[in-house]
Structure 1
């Protein structure tokens, strides 16, 4: 079974979005800068102990990120990122199950290989094979 490992949402104004989620929910953020596409890494849960997992969140909790909205990108909606062992194998499973892969996998240095897909219900989500 592949678990949800991360969520993503687009933003139109990074500072405004960061202020909103900090004020409304107490989330913190880290701007990864232009070299990482101005991605805002979001922490929603304090560190906790999880067997065989990095201490990034309390058991059962996930963190996420906000990305800049771009008018020419497809389907920019809130979505989840699903943890997979092998991106190519998972892409084949998505296609065989009736989904559509959006583009080619991209390498995120020090993090893993990532690609988005559309499920049979028209929802855009993503999957990532973390770097070992």
Structure 2
């Protein structure tokens, strides 16, 4: 079991799902990944924590129709000062997502939301009582994160300025332009130039991969439980990967465990 006790500043620390059907989502992810669930109660708006082997891996909350947003996952980056990071991000060209100021979550932490210079939506999490996902690189736990957008150079400069990322260039050709961000020497996330393939109207975005003991078996479980396949499983230099969506259309990825 890969238990994480701390998260580098600027690295992904938490993920949560805004869903129009919490009960259906719990049933789906419970079947596919073996998650169990704990409700935080009405004082936290019915927020649900998903657990794998008794350790937190993700959150679920109701997708408020007033948000006028499809069901989807949000990635949160670790900050030690959400207010200062938001101010720095806005000064560097980020835009608000309806939350100009960070929101304290009693006994848990402080959250913020922004859209980066390429329009990709991302969250901030300043932990106090809740330190983020505890389990990584396991079946049903986060394995890797990726930013995909149309102006990788501008976005790279933004994240380096605001979060101090150490960037390593993997490839810099028109066919494949990719960087990784290193934290204590470990590549925890990547940046992909999507200018050649992102469809019109599809914004730049953050995505992530859940680990799967058997990617093809997990894809079949996803289909059997009402989900869908966005991109079929395929072998890559980075393992066997697939892109899928849950029953209400929230997309995520699967990665074999290496």
TM-score normalised to structure 2 length: 0.40
Equivalent of residue 82 in structure 1, options 181, 206, 210 = 210
Return the alpha-carbon distance in structure 1 between the equivalents of residues 228 and 142 of structure 2.
Answer: 19
Partner of 2:155: 17
Contact 2:149–2:205 at 8 Å: present in 1 too? no
Partner of 2:193: 68
Relative to total residues, which structure has the larger strand share, 1 or 2? Answer: 2
Return the alpha-carbon distance in structure 1 between the equivalents of residues 208 and 154 of structure 2.
Answer: 22
CA-CA distance at 1:107 after TM superposition: 2.1
1:84-123 mapped onto 2 (5 Å cutoff): 84-109=212-237, 111-123=238-250
Contact 1:77–1:124 at 8 Å: present in 2 too? no
Return the alpha-carbon distance in structure 1 between the equivalents of residues 161 and 145 of structure 2.
Answer: 19
What is the CA deviation profile of residues 13-52 of structure 1, one whole-angstrom value per residue up to 9, with x for unaligned ones?
2211111111110112222214982122222x325xxxxx
Q: Which structure has the bigger radius of gyration?
A: 2
What is the CA deviation profile of residues 57-115 of structure 1, one whole-angstrom value per residue up to 9, with x for unaligned ones?
7xxxxx11122222338966312111111111111121122111112223221x21111
5+ residue gaps, structure 1: 48-55, 58-62
Q: How many residue pairs end up in the alignment? A: 116
Q: Could you say what the CA RMSD is over the residues aligned between the two structures, in angstroms?
A: 2.5
Compare relative contact order (CA 8 Å, sep 6+) and give the higher one, 1 or 2.
1
TM-score normalised to structure 1 length: 0.73
Moved over 4 A (4+): 73-76
5+ residue gaps, structure 2: 1-51, 53-139
